Amino acid sequence: MKMTIEIDRRLLRQAQKGLGMDTIKDTVEASLRTVIRQDQLQKLADALGTIPLDLTSEQLRQQRRNGPRMYPVDTSGWIHALRTATHPTSMHDSSR
């Protein structure tokens, strides 16, 4: 799709450098993909929620001193979130 837009030159140069892109089109498309990917990751993180740890302050201090240990965690919510998370099969434009 062709569009005419006004873009701040400094922002464009920074984005090109940060994304390693040479052209404006590639930079805009990579930027859009990055925003979409970040949104998808945030939605997945929100769906996964937090890990409930039933530890007292003293148990947490002891764990930090002794190193990590395995605690049983119900992952059924995580598995459901991963299975139902929506994501495009490809973020690339197939018309290229």
What total of structural domains would you count in the chain? Answer: 1
Residue 38 is assigned to a structural domain of this protein: yes
**CA distances for 71 relative to 29, 52, 55, 65, 77, angstroms:** 43, 10, 10, 16, 16
pLDDT surpasses 80 at 89: no
pLDDT surpasses 50 at 84: yes
Residue 2 is assigned to a structural domain of this protein: no
Q: Could you tell me which residues come within 8 angstroms of residue 7 by beta carbon, excluding any fewer than 6 positions away? A: 24
Residue 66 is assigned to a structural domain of this protein: yes
Domain span holding position 52: 9-84
**pLDDT tens, position by position, 21-74:** 999 999 999 999 999 999 999 988 888 777 767 778 888 888 788 876 666 666
Q: How confident is the model at residue 73, as a pLDDT?
A: 66
Residue 39 is assigned to a structural domain of this protein: yes
